Structures are given as C-alpha cells and as structure tokens.
Amino acid sequence: MNEMNFTVGGAPVDVADRFTVINPSTGDAAGTAPNAGLEELDRAVAAAAAAFPEWAAKSDAERQEACRAVTAKLQENAEELARLITLEQGKPLNGLGSRWEMGGAAAWAGHTAELSLPEKVLQDNDEGRVTLRRKPLGVVGSITPWNFPVMIAVWHILPALRTGNTVVIKPSPLTPLATLRAVEIMNEVLPKGVVTCITSDDRKANIGAAMAAHPEIRKIVFTGSCGTGQKIMATASDTMKRLTLEMGGNDAGIVLPDVDPEAIAEGLFWGAFINNGQTCAAMKRLYVHADVHDAVCEALVAFARNIPVGDGLDETSILGPVQNEAQFDKLSNLVSRAAAKGKVLLGGKPGEGLFFPPTLIAGLDNGDALVDEEQFGPALAIIRCESVEEMLEKANASPYGLGGSVWSSDIPAARELAARMDCGSVWINKHGAIQPNAPFGGVKSSGLGVEFGEEGLAEYTDIQVIFS
Ligand code: NAD
C-alpha cells in the first residue's frame, strides 16, 4: 500500500484524516492520501507566498538549472512513477501507457527548461527607449484531472517555475498518489515552499473551489471538465486571477475519399483510443466520406480487434480499464443508446469490473448522444457523409473546439480544409499528437489560453512596459 504524505514549506504535515485510492483494474486499494482541509490549503499557499520573493529574484539561469534538475529527477524516478500511475489510473505500463506518460513528462520538462522570454526592445530612438519585460505573477494554483496525473502536473508546474512563480497543485481525488510522489521528488532539488502538492477527497472541502477564490493565489491553471472550468472562471473574477483553462473536447476526424483505408487504420485507432479514449484531444467523432466508409470501417475493426486489454500491471496489456465508475456508467449509457440506433462494428457491451472493450459504432449522426457528447472512453462514433462540405459542417457544429484532424493523401487540400475547422489544433493524417514546442489550447467552450511553447510560458507572467 502506498501511504503518501505531503510537506508544506519542507515540513511534513500530519493530516489525521486520509482517503483511499482505488486501483481501477482490480477494485483494490492502491494507496491512501491525506484528506486536507481549508486550513492546510491556507498553510500551503502561505508557504508558496513566502517562497515567492526569493524564487522570483533568482537569475533566469538559476531557474533554468533548477528546471533541468527537476527534469533529471523525473527521468531517474520514471519507473517508480509509472507504476504508481498504472496502479491508480489503470493505464498499462506499456503501449501509450504510463511509461510513455513519464517519457512525455520528462520531454516537456526538459523542453520547458530551455525556453525563455527575453526582454523585448519595442523602441530605441531619439524619443526614448521602450522595453517589454515579463514579470512572474506570484502563487499559481494548479488543478489537475485524473487522465494523465504526472504529465499534466508537469505541464502546469514547469512553466510556472521557469518564469519565477511558486505553485500549489491539487490533483484529482481519483489519482493523487503519483502527483504526491512526483512533487516529493521535485522537492529534493527545489527550495522549500516553491512547489506544494495538497490532496483532498473533494468531500471534506472543495479545495479546488477554495483555490479559485483564494486571495493570495494569482493564477489558476486548470485542466478538467467544462463545467468545473466555468465555475473556476466565475469565482476567479472576484480576485482578477489569470486563468489558463484546458477543458473538454469532442474532437472530429474527417476522412476524405482519397485515403488508403488500411494505411490510416492504425493512426485512426490511436487517435481515438489513446489512454482508452480518456484524453481531452482524442478523436471522438469520425466523419467518413461514403466512397471509403465501408473500407475504413473494415480496416479499423481489423486493427482494433487485436489490441490486448487487461490489468495495467500486466506487461502484455496495451489498453486498461476505464478509470472510475462514474465515467464507466456515462460511457455504458452513451454506448447502449448508440447501439440501439447504429450498427455495432466491435465491442458495444461492458466487460468485467471497469473494463470496456474498444467499441466502434457506425450508422450514427449529429444529434445522437454518442456523437454530440464527450464520451471520454473507448468508444468511437462513425458518421457516413456524402460530401466534404457535409463533413466539415457537421464537425464544426459543436460547442467544443479543442482538436480535429483531416485524413487525405492530398496534403495541400487537407491543409486548406484544416484551416476551416473551428478548433485550436488540427492534425493531418494523425490526431492528438501534441508537442512541447507547439501551443495547445481550445477555442469555444474547450477553454481559454494555451499551454506549451513560448506562448504557453507567457501565460505565467504579466507584461510590464518600461518607458525611459
Ligand atoms: P473535473 O472537472 O471533474 O475535475 C478536474 C479537477 O477539478 C479535479 O482535481 C477536481 O478535484 C477539481 N474540482 C472539482 N470541483 C471543482 C471546483 N468547483 N472548483 C475547482 N476545482 C474543482 O474533470 P475530470 O473528470 O477529472 O477530468 C476529465 C475532463 O478533463 C474531461 O472533460 C477532459 O476533456 C478534460 N481534460 C482536458 C484537457 C485539456 O488539455 N483540454 C486535458 C485532460 C483532460
């Protein structure tokens, strides 16, 4: 059993109340975490506020070195963290699972360490010199979901630290263990109070909501559902917090008639089923031109039926269970309604425990719940369309706008179509392939602001202009 704790300002915190974290593969306890309340939150924020002046005053090179040291720590401890992620999140060690997540976490941390936001000279002439500099904000509150517990923590923490802020992070109550351990490891190379992880079951106190309201937190970076993001935005207005909100998506893929169905089947599958579909920018609706519809369905089924699904700790598993019961019930409901109308090509019925087989359902359309809602699980809705314009119109008819993809052998034509999709990222002949040097964020209800690259880094700063 993993009995995790947290420290505040370098001192262990004794929280008598603890909550149990469940391994979704078995239903057994994966470990326990401290069930903190508002008092512990205030202490964590006070420690972060106390650490801020010294951290912000460090030279850019010193902070860069510290972020490199954090990256090295994540690499050194990758296997231990991967096993914790698998235990509490359910994703397999292998495939695009927890070892892959740790590879991503280290890659993002390393890239972020090398980024910088140098002062810009806007004007330097007889009339004067005008310079633009970036100032850290203060204490950043990070609130994370349960699908990529360590990678998303790194996406929030590293750019905040790199730019001179201090951080209080609150992971999902469903997956707190790996984040607690990752922050403990980071603290081996960071000054006291610079990063604190605080955990709660969300029942004793809603720590996330309290962070959004906290007067000493200057920014919230949030990854999670649209409903929660909207609440945070409303609350944060009282203290004029800066916000980065990475919220839900219902990404569409558009398959043009010139594709080779067998050649794209693997990419289509992983675009939709990465992390068992529990990925914000996974493909959740697939619009396929009638000319290739049947062949694409056949190729997808042929690829998907061979994917081993099982306990994440089994080295042969490539997909694991759904992470939690609420998500499982939501998925089961959407799939059973879709199965009643459409044609189930693969899967379609819940398995044992929280296992749900990869499911492909054709014969659906906009207006069907599995098409319109974010299923966030291993089920893909396939919609047959007669024209490219119909596919584009249906893809854009959504309140979400996170990612999208176009599948075609004519890259220039695919790029033109991509530019007409209403979403923050569009991939051609792949889906969801985010990278640390490219800004990522949602339009419409999918969020506010971006992460990654210089644009993402800048979101952890205020602009100050000096006229001399
Ligand atoms: P969620 O919104 O239920 O929870 C996310 C976090 O918010 C948790 O830590 C939770 O404890 C906290 N929280 C709960 N109530 C709160 C409140 N009132 N104020 C502040 N914080 C509160 O989301 P989830 O179910 O953990 O994650 C799944 C969702 O996350 C999906 O919709 C998915 O699309 C989205 N997601 C988005 C991205 C992205 O980058 N856009 C990435 C991953 C996941």
Query: What percent of the chain has a predicted confidence (pLDDT) above 70?
Result: 100
Extract the tokens encoding 49: 């506020």
Instruction: Decide if pLDDT at 147 tops 80.
Output: yes
Question: Ligand 1 atom 38: the closest Cα is on which residue?
Answer: 280
> What is the model's pLDDT at position 350?
98
Distance from residue 208's CA to the centre of ligand 1 (Å): 10
Q: Of the residues 147, 169, 250, 251, which should be mutated to test ligand 1's pocket, given the most ligand atoms within 8 Å of the CB?
A: 147
- Separation of CA 149 and ligand 1 centre (Å): 11
In terms of Cα–Cα distance, which of 231, 229, 274, 235 is closest to 248? 229
CA distance 389 to 400: 19
Q: Helix 78-89 vs helix 177-186: angle between axes, to the nearest 10 degrees?
A: 160
Rounded to the nearest whole angstrom, what is the distance from the C-alpha of residue 376 to the centroid of ligand 1? 12
pLDDT band at 14 (very low <50, low <70, confident <90, very high): confident
> Distance between CA atoms of 28 and 280, rounded to whole angstroms?
27
Is the confidence at residue 175, as pLDDT, over 90?
yes
Q: Which of 41, 150, 174, 225 to mutate to test the pocket of ligand 1 (most atoms within 8 A of CB)?
A: 225
Which residue type, as a one-letter code, is found at position 389?
E
| CA distance linking residue 70 with residue 56, whole number of Å | 17
Task: Give the residue from 409, 100, 393, 422 showing the smallest Cα distance to 251.
Answer: 422
Burial of residue 384 (CB within 10 Å: 0-12, 13-18, 19+) is: buried
Q: What is the mean pLDDT of the chain?
A: 98
Confidence of residue 464 (pLDDT cuts 50, 70, 90): very high
Q: What is the mean pLDDT of residues 129-148?
A: 98
pLDDT of residue 142: 98
List, for residues 325-379, the tens digit of each pLDDT value.
Answer: 999 999 999 999 999 999 999 999 999 999 999 999 999 999 999 999 999 999 9
Residue nearest to atom 3 of ligand 1 (CA): 225
What does the pLDDT look like over 262-293, one tens digit per residue? Answer: 999 999 999 999 999 999 999 999 999 999 99
According to the model, what pLDDT value does residue 213 have?
Answer: 98
CA of 223 to the centre of ligand 1 (A): 5
Reduced to 3 states (helix: H, G, I; strand: E, B; else coil), residue 256 is coil
Confidence of residue 460 (pLDDT cuts 50, 70, 90): very high
Neighbours of 124 (CB within 10 A): 11
Q: Is 40 a catalytic residue?
A: no
Residue 130 in contact with residue 121, Cβ under 8 Å? yes
Mean pLDDT of 108-134: 98
Integer Cα distance of 298 and 103 in angstroms: 33
Ligand 1 atom closest to 146 (CA):
26
Closest ligand 1 atom to the C-alpha of 248?
34
Ligand 1 atom showing the smallest separation from residue 227 Cα: 2
β-pair partners for 346:
360
Per-residue model confidence as pLDDT tens digits over 49-84: 999 999 999 999 999 999 999 999 999 999 999 999
Distance 201 CA to ligand 1 centre (A): 14
Residue nearest (by alpha carbon) to ligand 1 atom 39: 246
Whether 145 contacts 440, CB under 8 Å: no
Where do we find the tokens 């309340």?
A: 37
Q: Residue with the nearest Cα to atom 18 of ligand 1? A: 209
Residue nearest to atom 22 of ligand 1 (CA): 208
Which of the residues 40, 101, 246, 451 is marked catalytic?
246
pLDDT number for residue 28: 98
Centre of ligand 1 to C-alpha 171, Å, is: 9
Instruction: State the closest ligand 1 atom to the C-alpha of 173, by its place in the atom list counted from 1.
Output: 11
Check residue 10 and give its pLDDT: 87
Measured in degrees and rounded to the nearest 5, phi and psi for residue 93 equal -65, -35
pLDDT, tens digit, 9 for 90 and up, residues 367-426:
999 999 999 999 999 999 999 999 999 999 999 999 999 999 999 999 999 999 999 999
Contact in structure between 442 and 401 (CB atoms under 8 Å): yes
Q: Which residues line ligand 1 (CB under 6 A)?
A: 143-147, 170-173, 202, 206, 208-209, 212, 223-225, 228, 231-232, 246-249, 280, 374, 376, 402, 442, 447
Nearest residue CA, atom 11 of ligand 1?
172
Q: What integer is the mean pLDDT of 161-179? A: 98
Look up 3 and say whether it is catalytic: no
Q: What is the pLDDT of residue 432?
A: 98
| CA distance readout (Å), 220 to 38, 50, 169, 293 | 17, 18, 10, 43
Q: For residue 372, what pLDDT is reported?
A: 98
- CA–centroid distance, 183 to ligand 1, in Å, is 19
**pLDDT at residue 1 greater than cutoff 90:** no
Q: Note the pLDDT of residue 466.
A: 98
For 300, the 3-state DSSP assignment is helix
Residue 442 CA: which ligand 1 atom is closest? 41
Pocket test for ligand 1, best of 172, 200, 398, 423 (most atoms within 8 A of CB): 172
* CA of residue 343 to ligand 1 center, whole Å: 32
Atom of ligand 1 at shortest range from CA of 144: 9
Q: State the Cα–Cα distance between residues 467 and 458, nearest whole angstrom.
A: 21
> Quick one: which of 9, 463, 46, 51 has its CA closest to 216?
46
Q: How far apart are CA 113 and CA 206, in angstroms?
A: 32
Take atom 30 of ligand 1 and give the residue whose Cα is closest.
Answer: 224
Catalytic residue among 280, 297, 385, 423: 280
Strands 403-407 and 283-289: unpaired
Task: For residue 417, give the H/E element and its range.
Answer: helix 411-419
Tokens representing residue 281 in the block: 């920018």
| Cα of 225 from ligand 1 centre, angstroms | 4
Round to whole Å and give the CA distance between 142 and 168.
6
pLDDT band at 441 (very low <50, low <70, confident <90, very high): very high
